[in-house]
Structure 1
């Protein structure tokens, strides 16, 4: 059974300072909302939606615990300060849950939910959950654009140690989403625009590199994805952004060094640092082409002092301030 579990107000707790007429913290600002009640608004709406699913991780032989990821991030978001300059609604739509290993059905539900959020004029920020969130998220964006803007050219940017381009002959997993997107693009005669930042040789087989090459993917390896090499990274980013109409951004937390993100499904000591990600986010958000974002593979079972959840929350907070 697939269900959208309502948002839990108990996750949104924090200190209460004198607010002088405005919320000081996100736990005071957030509104719990049902998806079907969401309506277009004259002011900005940021919609948080959890993907409490780890079935794709299980199928991909990863460490379990990602289903608890969305709520772990919410707890860290709750205590962050409110710096919105303009009127902004922060909405929590709850978690999409996967029962009985029904991954494909869960993905279809998420896709419809993303389309619905975009139709309401909200900016979706999805919290995962396994990286199988990516194909479902993309499909929801695609359907929205096809219905409303006649097949806009979508660019997919993935901050990740892994290509996640495994074939899906044995079913969908957290390792197949971008292969599925490539097949989707081929079937609809669309370009597969895929930029992956932070790729590690130690995290991808030679076959996966060949698959990426054959599909026309573009990537920057983790050894080059740094502020020290920023001029080259920025050039590649800007070149990619210019050729697409809309950008779907997905951040796999296992792309970060495990010094920053120990609580993930597939940790790596050789990942990238937060500073280059913040610079990347600034460039992307300034383009005004980013249509939706997710963070994947948050696994609180293996987190240390909530470091990974705090990192994820700070990324969401940073993104929200750039909207």
Structure 2
């Protein structure tokens, strides 16, 4: 985990930064004057940091949760794979165009069980963000994901997808290579897959980019993530012709984990370490691992031939609508 001063702080995390600064000041004083014991003061400040993290987390607005989901220190797919699984073997390429670095996946062991784990991967610095295209997959990324799902089906292994993307890549070349078709094909094929699928939103869950690996028997959502058809900034720019209303848009979109769970769009909310997953990678991964294992145990015994009907029913009943009575005129 990155420690202060390498840690990055969001605007509403500034009180925590100030406490870290006090700790650094006391450590320097302790080095200069060994006769005075600063351990008690430092311990008090460290306890205050935990309390402050808890206090901030308890009163987060939807927009602040969006910011947390994008936190530069937040763990991404490969970090969760590293902390949750063993013997991960990454597989590359869609066997058609190229290997999309924004989508990663391969076989791994989760609690002694072999699984296929797939997810979007963002970069941790400028160079890797460009390499990973900021987690925005091209069509070949979704086709790679589908190839790996089919491989898992061939060997009768469960599929786990970790969703963290601001959306599928909207570039001209992506559209030319069939971005919409690739996502639609994945949705269609995931409904028909015979092995268990567990989907988890671990960061940003935006639009078709998320849905391209988001159809499963169980859909989980981490506490400080969001899941919706459009980002708050884009929604604000469409409705108000400006990004200045992004906080209002985030509220109106009802995009938080609690909202999604109340709507029945996700099956469970995965809690995060106090203050967010970026404070403790190991703890965040262990909590998530427990929820994934529980979800797998709930669906693993379902007959393969019943999975398609179950998923069609599950996703078909999502949403709200009213049916008008048939009138004589309509008849």
Using structure 1 for the length normalisation, give the TM-score.
0.31
Structure that is richer in helix per residue: 2
Higher RCO by CA contacts (8 Å cutoff, separation 6 or greater) = 1
Using structure 2 for the length normalisation, give the TM-score.
0.31
Give 1 or 2 for the bigger CA radius of gyration: 2
